[in-house]
Amino acid sequence: MDKAPSPNFSRRFMMAIVGALLVAAAVRVPFLTDSLWYDEIAAFLGYSINGPWGAVGTYYTQANHVLHSLLAWCSGAALGVDEVSVRLPSFLAGLGAVVAIAWLAIEALGRDDKGIRLAVLSAFITALLPIAVLPATEARGYSLMMLCSALMTAAFLRALRIGTRAAWFLYSVVCALGIWSHLVTVCVPAFHALWCVTVLLRSQTRSNSVADPKTARAGLMAIGVAAALTLLVYAPILPAIFAIRSEFRALDGNEPTLFGPEGWMMLLSIGGSWNLWASLAALPIAVAGTVAAARDGKLRTALFLSLGGAIVALVFPLLLGSWLYARFLAFTVPGIALLLAAGLLEINARRPIIARALAVVVAAAWLATLATIGPRQQIREAVMYVAQHRSPNEGAFAVGLPDDVHRWYSVPFGVEMPGSGPYGKDLAAQLREPGAAWAVLLYPRTLSDAADRLRVAGFVEAARFPGWIDQGNGEIIVFRRR
């Protein structure tokens, strides 16, 4: 058993973690009042608004990140429904991830001075990482993926070390909760299972310093229990998931691909940001972390178990014909934070001045990215623009995807704004309305044909509202008839 830290050292450690939590909260809070974007509204209106059974018992699109939908209902029921309350579960999960990643670092290296320093630095890095901040500030399941993946790997390492049934059961429960948050989180325990199988195969030729065959078999049994628990929590919607199974395949031709912007963002994530320059600034630290892992077996194992799920995730687009967004890999954030923290410690051991300079530069680059990124999608601002500029006798309509998410804001603003059907299917009917003077167009790149039809019908652009989600496809154009 590891020797517990002294009370004084433990007090300093706790103060450092509290400091990291305060930094994390300060960085994340400004994003909470941004306009909700399409997926956030569609998930709440489709599932959470119908109560707890609506969240856990219905599934007709992949928009339902079930555990988050349930927690969003709880938050809305307790506090009232607005941007902050709907995002509160993700925000709290993001703060929890700061602590969970610190625990992961301690389980990786132990409670000695090296492990504590790695834990504190990992916590502060998680507080500032753009790829950790952004999932924690939107009402989706990605922040819970991040939290649960950190807890999974930490619990797995702890169970490997102490080998008790309680430790393995804790791991199984966290795995089920993580997959309940988002289906792609299954990649983490799937890779852990591959790791256990590898240990069993290698044990026939040489010993393993991290796990023996008995422990690896216990790990596989725990993953089997996790699979059973996952089937239990998903049981109410398994028939619905099976019914829409074709929607998990890339059949439309407009899904993200690995050899496109989303794949590029996945690569940039190793530097903690989807911004090229901010990621490149952190690249030397990531390289140093790789060097540190090459010399430290415990660190190497923790990184392998934290990041290996990304290899499993590649199976979906490469072999199963499915698709991935970069945000689906939120489960890799704990491993990335651990890698960067190890890199800074490696550089600090050799060149303390360079390590401090790099830390300042990278932190500044991450904060600059967050300060300039802007809202994901300004549905609220676009609807408000119409409400403020239209005359009482002027009508308005919206053109968008299948869900009429604009009504989340048009109803409280007192603007009667019907939709135009999925992907503008009923646009012709709206254009024939003589009083229709305003149009709000969501996803103009996807719906470029609808934009052309609006212009031909005499509509001109009145305002544009940029949105960075989906590589800028979150932009909204407000049209006004001449």
Does residue 2 form part of some domain?
Answer: no
Does residue 461 form part of some domain?
Answer: yes
Does residue 246 form part of some domain?
Answer: yes
Yes or no: say if 118 and 105 are a contact pair by the CB < 8 Å rule: yes
Last residue of a domain, one of 323, 353, 372: 372
Last residue of a domain, one of 372, 394, 410: 372
Q: Quick check: helix, strand or coil at residue 160?
A: helix
d(CA 309, CA 331): 8
Query: Is residue 338 located within the same domain as residue 390?
Result: no
Exposure letters 21-42 (e unless 16+ CB within 10 A, then b): bebbbebbeebbebbbbbbbbb
Query: Is residue 95 located within the same domain as residue 148?
Result: yes
Residue 205 pLDDT: 58
Question: Residue 456 is part of a domain; what is its CATH number?
Answer: 3.40.190
d(CA 202, CA 165): 24
Query: Is residue 383 located within the same domain as residue 242?
Result: no
Query: Is residue 255 located within the same domain as residue 394?
Result: no
Last residue of a domain, one of 320, 354, 372: 372
Query: Is residue 18 located within the same domain as residue 35?
Result: yes
Query: Is residue 399 located within the same domain as residue 251?
Result: no
Residue 3 pLDDT: 46
Contact partners, residue 231, CB within 8 Å, separation at least 6: 238
Contact partners, residue 65, CB within 8 Å, separation at least 6: 43, 140, 141, 142, 144, 181, 182
Does residue 161 form part of some domain?
Answer: yes
Query: Is residue 289 located within the same domain as residue 145?
Result: yes
Residue of 89, 84, 93 lying closest to 74 (CA atoms): 89
* Residue 132 belongs to domain spanning: 7-372
Query: Is residue 368 located within the same domain as residue 259?
Result: yes
Query: Is residue 384 located within the same domain as residue 455?
Result: yes
Query: Is residue 287 located within the same domain as residue 409?
Result: no
Does residue 1 form part of some domain?
Answer: no
Q: The sheet that has 459-465: what strands, in order across it?
A: 395-399, 436-442, 476-481, 459-465
Query: Is residue 58 located within the same domain as residue 164?
Result: yes
Does residue 43 form part of some domain?
Answer: yes
Cα dihedral value 394, 399, 405, 406, nearest 10: -20
Per-residue pLDDT tens listing for the chain (482 residues): 344 444 445 889 999 999 999 999 999 999 999 999 999 999 999 999 999 999 999 999 889 999 999 999 999 999 999 999 999 999 999 999 999 999 999 999 998 899 999 999 999 999 999 999 999 999 999 999 999 999 999 999 999 999 899 999 999 999 999 999 999 999 999 999 999 999 998 876 555 556 688 899 999 999 999 999 999 999 999 999 999 887 777 656 566 677 788 889 999 999 999 999 999 999 999 999 999 999 999 999 999 999 999 999 998 887 777 878 899 999 999 999 999 999 999 999 999 999 999 999 999 999 999 999 999 999 999 999 999 999 989 999 999 999 999 999 999 999 999 999 999 999 999 999 889 999 999 999 999 999 999 999 999 999 999 999 998 999 999 999 98
d(CA 137, CA 232): 29
Does residue 35 form part of some domain?
Answer: yes
Residue of 299, 477, 400 lying closest to 42 (CA atoms): 400
User: Which class for 204: exposed (0-12), middle (13-18), buried (19 or more C-beta within 10 A)?
Assistant: exposed
Query: Is residue 448 located within the same domain as residue 344?
Result: no
Does residue 351 form part of some domain?
Answer: yes
Number of domains the chain contains: 2
